[in-house]
Amino acid sequence: MSSMISKFNIQVQECAILGVALLLLTACGSTSATGSTTGGSSVLATATATPNPTATPGNIYDLPDAPIYDAQINGAGGAVPSVSYSIQTSRTLNVMITPQPAPNLTLAGYTNWVFPYGCLSLSVTVNGQTQYTGVMQVAGVTQAANSVCANAPTSQVLNFSNDINGNGPTSVKVSNADYDNCRYTNPMIYGCGMSAIFQNHIVSALVQIQGDGTYMGN
């Protein structure tokens, strides 16, 4: 009788050991996320982006759109000769400039006045580094055959990814507007020649600023 009890106890112990071993093997084969360290930052082993075939064309990882601002500035000596935006990014910084039609003046007595243009160029400064757009044309504006921006693009992207300092706030400044001031031509012919914007005139451009984890279309 005692011999049978001893064998039973051994079998129970063996089953318990086998059960623990199976649990350990199951844990080793688990697909749950685990923490690891790469370059001093905590990373999830399974935290990889998964393409989404139904996303916006080109945005296969469904990233949020980079913010877009409407920059309206005057020339030198005007009330708003430049505009600045702040972004926090550590790896990516692209700025897309898209010229817009001339907005109404803000001068007293001139609220319904517009000094239109068909061509525009601007400068963008990040951390003391300045890049200039080429001459761009305003989409939808009919250009003269010899216009200075007849074959120009309607937007331009400037890459400042190499000018980022760390992960702190970064200032993006838009200024130095030039346009084709053709208001003295009769009839008005867009693309008559580029000059600095008059201090009380206004130019407008959409400014899209792409930082880490955001998407910028073409």
**Alpha-carbon span 52 to 49, nearest angstrom:** 9
The confidence band for 209, taking pLDDT boundaries of 50, 70 and 90, is: very high
Q: Beta strand pairing status for 83-88 and 68-73?
A: unpaired
The torsion angles phi and psi of 30, rounded to 5 degrees, stand at -70, 150
The pLDDT score that the predictor gives to residue 56 is 64
Look at 108 and 175; give whichever has higher pLDDT: 175
The pLDDT score that the predictor gives to residue 2 is 44
Please name each of the domains of the chain with its CATH number: 65-210 (2.60.120)
Average pLDDT over residues 75-87: 94
Residue 198 has pLDDT above 50, yes or no: yes
Residue listed under structure tokens 């010229």: 99
3-state secondary structure at position 177: strand
The pLDDT score that the predictor gives to residue 183 is 80
Look at 216 and 30; give whichever has higher pLDDT: 216
